[in-house]
Amino acid sequence: MSEDDDQTEAIAARVRDAAAAGTPVAIRGGGSKPFYGHRLDGEALDVSRHRGVLNYEPTELMLTARAGTPLVELEELLAANGQMFAFEPPHFGGGATLGGAVATGLSGPRRPFAGALRDHLLGVRIVDGNGSVGRFGGEVIKNVAGYDVSRLTVGALGTLGVVLEVSVKVLPRPETERTVCLEMAPEEIHGRIEDALRNGAPITGAAHDGDRAWIRLAGATSAVTAGADWLGGDTPTDETFWSRLRDHTMDFFRGDTAEPLWRLSLPPGGRSPDLPGKRVVDWGGQLHWLRSDASAEGIRRETAAIGGHATVFRGGDAATAVFTPLEPALARFHGRLKRAFDPHGVLNPGRMYPEF
């Protein structure tokens, strides 16, 4: 890490100029997730040079790094110290950065069992739309001073601020990890893993690839063994399943199909949305990846009927809202928050919702 790695001033200056001129910027980290959200027209603001670990103390279970630091680098550092990001952030590409993980707010297969990125976030430093730098949250696990601005930046797709620094809670790596495969329908997973959890099985993944269920256990060896015995099933030979699911490198995600890829986020233990198309299920049934040419309204109506929401994850057309539209009162609060952080509307305008 050199002096050069601290781009705070340069980034803040760019935003100040953009605010003064009223010309939007399109924030870019590693460029691994350009498909996510609406397309942006602004001038590129590259934050990938703003990188480096600022504070990592394994005994504090905490890491602070600049937003442009690649996730792979951080994960290697953590692994060398027997630790990990418990939320298993998807990379979707080699260059994925910590800032991009925060901005997209996505979490991997471990999410239902260990929490999402937002659950492990401790603090951020951001440049708001006026170009002013602020620090919110901190480096300690408990902190209720001021409103929770750090979690507000998670999943905001850069529309509230350019994320400069991120502090996250990290956890010890499990002693043992093991996967079992079971023949069952996606709808049966919830009940089965509930029983297993109540019997002490340390489950950290529960997915369905269209053929069979994959259940991952991780933790103390004794608990993993007991849990795997309780669940039964076969031990698969494929050790890359979870990373291919996380990063969408499975064939299901890669195939060059015309149908867009939908992401359906659902309540626990409900019925599956009745929709045509192929799907891969994650999060114990609470996340459906759906390839379908059904209409956007149809997909959204059916998903909403069971208490969930639907996102066009990849391959949508420009006319379809990427995210489920907000009800009027919530839309009003979103608009006001956007104006509070970015009064000139220069930070990634429209990437999340066309209105802001």
**Distance (Å, whole) CA 66 – CA 62:** 14
What does the chain come to in residues?
Answer: 356
Interaction between residue 105 and other proteins (CB under 8 A): yes
Stretch that binds other proteins, among 7-15, 41-49, 111-119, 237-245 (CB under 8 A): 111-119
Q: How far is the CB of 324 from other proteins (least distance, A)?
A: 5
Q: How far is the CB of 94 from other proteins (least distance, A)?
A: 25
Interaction between residue 142 and other proteins (CB under 8 A): yes
- Return the number of the residue (244 or 309) whose C-beta is nearest other proteins: 309
Residue of 172, 210, 236, 354 interacting with other proteins (CB under 8 A)? 172
- Return the number of the residue (70 or 280) whose C-beta is nearest other proteins: 280
Residue of 4, 44, 254, 333 interacting with other proteins (CB under 8 A)? 333
**Distance (Å, whole) CA 94 – CA 73:** 10
Interaction between residue 267 and other proteins (CB under 8 A): yes
Interaction between residue 155 and other proteins (CB under 8 A): yes
- Which contacts (CB < 8 Å, 24+ apart) does range 141-150 have? 141/61, 141/62, 141/169, 149/124, 150/121, 150/122, 150/123, 150/124
Q: What is the DSSP letter of 69?
A: S
List strand residue ranges (DSSP E) for the chain, in order.
25-28, 43-46, 53-57, 62-66, 83-84, 121-127, 133-137, 162-169, 171-172, 176-182, 203-208, 213-219, 261-265, 278-282, 287-291, 309-314
- C-alpha distances (whole Å) from 111 to each of 97, 114, 118, 239, 353 are 19, 5, 10, 19, 25
Q: How far is the CB of 159 from other proteins (least distance, A)?
A: 8
Which x/- pattern over 196-235 shows residues binding other proteins (rule: CB under 8 A)?
A: -xxxx-x----------------xx-xx--x---------
Interaction between residue 140 and other proteins (CB under 8 A): yes
Interaction between residue 283 and other proteins (CB under 8 A): yes
- Return the number of the residue (294 or 321) whose C-beta is nearest other proteins: 321
Q: Are 97 and 68 in contact (CB under 8 A)?
A: yes
Q: Which two tokens stand for residue 2?
A: 């050199």
Interaction between residue 353 and other proteins (CB under 8 A): yes
Residue of 210, 268, 298, 354 interacting with other proteins (CB under 8 A)? 268
Interaction between residue 149 and other proteins (CB under 8 A): yes
**Distance (Å, whole) CA 259 – CA 192:** 32
Residue of 112, 205, 260, 350 interacting with other proteins (CB under 8 A)? 112
